[in-house]
Amino acid sequence: MDIAALQLKMREAFRVEATDLLTELDSSMLELESRPQDSDLLNRVFRAIHTIKGSGATAGFNAMAAFTHHVEELFDEARLGQLTITPEMIDLALKAKDLIGQLLETDNPAALEPACARVVAALARFLPRSDKPTVPDQKKSGDTASKNQAHQVFFKPHPQIFFSGTDPINLVDELCTLGTATVTAVVDGVPALENLNPEQCYLAWNVKLLSAHPIGKIKEVFLFVEDESEIRIESQPEPPSHPSAGAGHLSSFLNIASQSLEALEGFLSRIPATAEPDLDWCKNYLRILKTLQSAASHQSLEKLAALLDEQIRILQAVISGQTSFSDHAREILAEGYEKLVAVIQSLSEQRPVSVSQPQTEVASRPEAPTAAVPVKETARAATSIRVDQEKLDRLIRSAGELLVARNAFPVLAKKLALDHGLRPISKEVKDAGDQISRIAEDLQAAVMSIRMMPIRTVFQRFPRMVRDICRAQGKEAELVLEGEDTELDKTVIEQIADPLVHLVRNAADHGIEAPEIREKAGKPRVGKVTLKAYNKENNVVIEIRDDGRGMDRARLKQKAVEKGLLTASAAAALDDRAALELIFLPGLTTAEKVTDISGRGVGMDVVRSNIRQLHGTTTLESKAGFGSVITINLPASLMVSKGILVEAGGEEYVFPMASVVQMVNLPRGQIHCLDGNHFASFRNQVFSVLRLVDHFARVGQRRDMVWPEEVSLAIIQTDEGRIGVAVDRFVGQVEVIVKPMGREFADIAAFQGTTILGDGRIALVINPAGFIGGSDRSNLLAAAGGANK
């Protein structure tokens, strides 16, 4: 796999992971709002954001990572007790979360920059100090081997610095790229607004920098301004955060050393052969050597440090162009490496045996760790795996095909018994078929259960939504979620979300009254919206209940009349139930004013039709002053597809849409008979014609082969080619959920199963693949019965 493809895959994987994390963030941030002091919760939020940032940067979402950093900062401060989370912060963080989501999806992150900048600016207000972005973590950890040193940098630019075309912020930013920085602005010099000259620089900065770079590199940042600006750099030794003293210290050095050696070995295998070497190669090699050297001198391993000197010198000379990359240079590097191996080997043999285990583990890692992955992630990975939806669907298709294919066994068994008189083998084939059949059904059930997802994934978004609506409208409402673990088919989960959003919005926006109105009505100030899912028989029921004002039937009627949807007399004749049903009419809205949240009442009719598409029903109960309940009844599992409903011999059948090539009405003259078999030619194609009624009609309903003047043919595609199936009439297109017929009828290959029609009647779904088999069988049976073949 090439790098680009790998990167694409990584990005995709991260996107999936991040989406989950973002959803989780949504709910944990809302929890945090009610319990701002909960440190577990804070940590959870922080970790989620941190992971998004870290893995995001690794996956190449740089803009997103940079932006996320600011959000992380806020929660980091809160986590460290530097600030307390307020609802305003949550507001902002949620906004930021949305932006992160958008940054993940967009191909053009620059377009979102203004929005991000606004959030960043707003975030900065909450932070006790004006922080500058630090380098994303993975850059830092790439250097774990080197020793960080703390520097205190004070930078007071010349007041006229802008006139030299220098933006001091750039320099502070540049400083921050050198390591982990904490930036504090010194604002003492800023005068009152009326005395402020916008072209003058009043600010100074204190930067606490933890960097692996030498001090020269830090000084270099201020190269162009050092003459006129005030710059002080104080370096302190490494803070004692690293394990120190004795064996532990040496062993951590040895870890660094072994990692470095491994990296060097890798580089040496790609040593440039030309005199004009790959500069990147040289620089990388040099970096490792320097890291090793500084680690060695830190350990007072002067001999080792000196050993590195020669190699470092030659590489520096090559990089600066002073010498060419000669064989001599190559020799020095190769020999130097051998010597290093020897020295480090001897050091590690002196190493005390009582080394703690984790150290060994680190040493065995091939490379320095990139981004920190929270333990929680690994734990979750152990219990579940992510699968591409396409792969899953393929599995489901195969399981379905297996279910159809097993139907060949009974046919085969009968053929053996009747045609060839091989009863014992026939029995064995039948038994084997039964077994496969059973396994296929288990498989089908198991595979379908993979598609089942808890409705939690949909419910999760609602606390945020209800909260936003309430905040925007000054209402108070509580959302109660029940039965979040109720499972539904993934397709249903995906498609139920939008209708539910609309219904919950309606409940909070139009249903729940303002707190004052509620109090006047003698109701609790805080309204309640309940979202509840549960299983009922084979169905899943979702209830959206609010204790708001309820539907005003008179108002509904009036509206319907106003909009010309109903005549006044018709409206007056409606009973309570029918009046309520008016809300499902397209173009009717009862909200006194249109709000930006619930919109213009395009909703309810669309909601109902969406749910109908899922083969669900929507019912509404409402009592003025007491609230409303909307009940959605959905089939829990379904294989939804489209089909053509036809009538033949007084029965209704469904052809799966996928198998129907064409539906035509042919004049009788185009049907020809040859040796008792019928053919039709249509658009230069000849195909055999069967009558559906001959195959499936109940005994006694069979009719003579007399073609009507016009023959309705469904041309269907089978494995053996196209055939025309004559029916009495086409009824129309229907949505079907195929339900298998159960084992008793498993040998009827001609049917896929049954489906419930919109009006509750049951129709058989024809299996085009089994159709031909079925006709063969009837021929077989006819032959066995002694009739003329």
Partner 1 sequence: MVSFTLLDAGYVVVEARDGVDALANCTAQKVDLFISDLNMPNMDGIQLTRQLRALAPYRFTPIVMLTTESQTEKKMEGKAAGATGWVIKPFQMEQLLNVVKKVCP
State the Cα–Cα distance between residues 286 and 336, nearest whole angstrom: 13
Beta carbon nearer to partner 1, 224 or 745:
224
Greatest Cα pair distance, the chain, in angstroms, is: 114
- Tell me how far, at minimum, the Cβ of 227 lies from partner 1, in Å: 7
Indicate the DSSP class of residue 636: S
- Tell me how far, at minimum, the Cβ of 223 lies from partner 1, in Å: 7
Beta carbon nearer to partner 1, 144 or 200:
200
- Tell me how far, at minimum, the Cβ of 255 lies from partner 1, in Å: 33
Residue closest to 664 by CA, chosen among 650, 641, 685: 685
Query: Of the listed pieces 220-228, 389-397, 415-423, 497-505, which binds partner 1 according to CB under 8 A?
Result: 220-228
The label of the residue with tokens 């080792």 reads: 304
Beta carbon nearer to partner 1, 321 or 474:
321
Query: Of the listed pieces 110-118, 167-175, 436-444, 708-716, which binds partner 1 according to CB under 8 A?
Result: 167-175
Q: Does 166 bind partner 1 (CB under 8 A)?
A: yes
Residue 205 token pair: 């900065």
Query: Of the listed pieces 157-165, 205-213, 411-419, 694-702, which binds partner 1 according to CB under 8 A?
Result: 157-165
Is the distance from CB of 693 to CB of 701 less than 8 angstroms? Answer: yes
Residues in contact with partner 1, shown as a per-residue x/- string from 223 to 262 under the rule CB under 8 A: xx--xx----------------------------------
Which of 162, 202, 267, 707 contacts partner 1 by CB under 8 A? 162
Q: Does 626 bind partner 1 (CB under 8 A)?
A: no
Q: Does 164 bind partner 1 (CB under 8 A)?
A: yes
Residue 327 token pair: 């064989």
Torsion of CA 605, 608, 611, 617, to 10 degrees: -170
Which of 98, 143, 173, 468 contacts partner 1 by CB under 8 A? 173
Is the distance from CB of 306 to CB of 318 less than 8 angstroms? Answer: no
State the Cα–Cα distance between residues 650 and 608, nearest whole angstrom: 32
The phi, psi pair for 545, rounded to 5°, reads -120, 135
- Tell me how far, at minimum, the Cβ of 175 lies from partner 1, in Å: 11
Alpha helices in 406-489 (DSSP H): 408-419, 423-451, 456-459, 462-473
- Tell me how far, at minimum, the Cβ of 300 lies from partner 1, in Å: 35
Residues in contact with partner 1, shown as a per-residue x/- string from 346 to 365 under the rule CB under 8 A: --------------------
Q: Does 170 bind partner 1 (CB under 8 A)?
A: yes
State the Cα–Cα distance between residues 318 and 320, nearest whole angstrom: 6
Residue 26 token pair: 């949504």
Is the distance from CB of 547 to CB of 523 less than 8 angstroms? Answer: yes
State the Cα–Cα distance between residues 437 and 352, nearest whole angstrom: 65
Residue 371 token pair: 């981004």
Which of 216, 321, 421, 760 contacts partner 1 by CB under 8 A? 321
- Tell me how far, at minimum, the Cβ of 131 lies from partner 1, in Å: 18
Q: Does 267 bind partner 1 (CB under 8 A)?
A: no
- Tell me how far, at minimum, the Cβ of 533 lies from partner 1, in Å: 52
In 89-237, DSSP assigns E strands to 149-156, 179-186, 204-211, 230-236
Strands 527-536 and 487-489: unpaired
Beta carbon nearer to partner 1, 44 or 132:
132
- Tell me how far, at minimum, the Cβ of 219 lies from partner 1, in Å: 14
Q: Under rule CB under 8 A, which residues in 380-399 are in contact with partner 1?
A: none
Query: Of the listed pieces 21-29, 55-63, 168-176, 386-394, which binds partner 1 according to CB under 8 A?
Result: 168-176
**539: alpha, beta or left? (left if phi > 0; alpha if psi -120 to 50):** beta
Q: Does 276 bind partner 1 (CB under 8 A)?
A: no
Query: Of the listed pieces 13-21, 22-30, 165-173, 294-302, which binds partner 1 according to CB under 8 A?
Result: 165-173
SS3 for 349-383 is HHCCCCCCHHHHHHHHCCCCCCCCCCHHHHHHHHH
Which sign does the torsion angle of CA 574, 575, 579, 584 carry? negative
- Tell me how far, at minimum, the Cβ of 163 lies from partner 1, in Å: 6
Beta carbon nearer to partner 1, 20 or 174:
174
SS3 401: helix
Which of 88, 105, 174, 276 contacts partner 1 by CB under 8 A? 174
Site size toward partner 1 (CB under 8 A) is 15
- Residue 45 neighbours by CB under 8 Å, 6+ apart: 25, 28, 29, 32, 75
Q: Does 165 bind partner 1 (CB under 8 A)?
A: yes
- Tell me how far, at minimum, the Cβ of 280 lies from partner 1, in Å: 11
**Amino acid, single-letter form, for residue 492:** V
- Tell me how far, at minimum, the Cβ of 548 lies from partner 1, in Å: 54
- Tell me how far, at minimum, the Cβ of 210 lies from partner 1, in Å: 22
Query: Of the listed pieces 160-168, 357-365, 624-632, 710-718, which binds partner 1 according to CB under 8 A?
Result: 160-168
Torsion of CA 96, 97, 102, 105, to 10 degrees: 140
Q: Where on the chain is the footprint of partner 1 (CB under 8 A)?
A: 162-167, 170, 173-174, 199, 223-224, 227-228, 321
